[in-house]
Amino acid sequence: MTVGDTASQQLGKAWRRTGFWMSVPLALFQGLSAVSAFRNPDAFAAKFGAPLADAGDAAWVHVYGLRTAFIALLGTGLLLRRDLNGLKWALVVAPVMPLGDAYVASQAGAPLQVCVQHMVVALYVMLAAATLWFGTRGQQPRIASSSLS
C-alpha cells in the first residue's frame, strides 16, 4: 500500500493479496492429488469415494490424474505470472469439478463425510474466486504484448 491510496484501493489490494494466497494451496492440492492418482490409483479412488471394482479400472483414475495435473499446472502458471484476472475466471468456473466429484462420490455410495469434503473444497474455491472478484473489480485485464501487430 502506498501513502496516496484511497481506502477503496487499499481494500482492493487486500482482496487481491488474499485471493492470490488462497489460490496457492489449491494449486498445491491439485498437484498432490495428481501424483497420488498415479502413485496408488486404488488408494486414491477409495479416498475419493469411488473405490475401484477392478484393478483394470485404474486407467480412469489415471485420466482423473491427468486432468488434475493440467489444472495444477494451469493454476501454477497463472500464479507465477500473477495473472489475477485469469486466475479469477479459472476459479469462477472451477467449482463444477468438486461439486461433480461430490455427486460422483455420492452415486458410488461414498460415506457422507467424503461427499462433504468435496463440497468444502467447492466452497473454498468459491471463496477464493470471490476474493479475487472483489480485488480485481474495475481493473483492466493484463494483455501480453504481441508481435502479431
Query: 58-71 pLDDT, tens per residue?
Result: 999 999 999 999 99
Residue with cell 495428481: 34
Query: 10-59 pLDDT, tens per residue?
Result: 777 877 888 888 999 999 999 999 999 999 999 999 998 989 988 888 99
pLDDT averaged over the chain? 88
Among 1-15, 16-30, 77-91, 115-129, the least confident range: 1-15
Domain segments of the chain as ranges: 9-135
For 37, 43, 61, 123, the CA distances from 40, given in Å and listed in that order, are 6, 6, 9, 27
Q: Average of pLDDT values for 132-138?
A: 82
Q: Who wins on pLDDT, 30 or 138?
A: 30
Residue 130, pLDDT above cutoff 50: yes
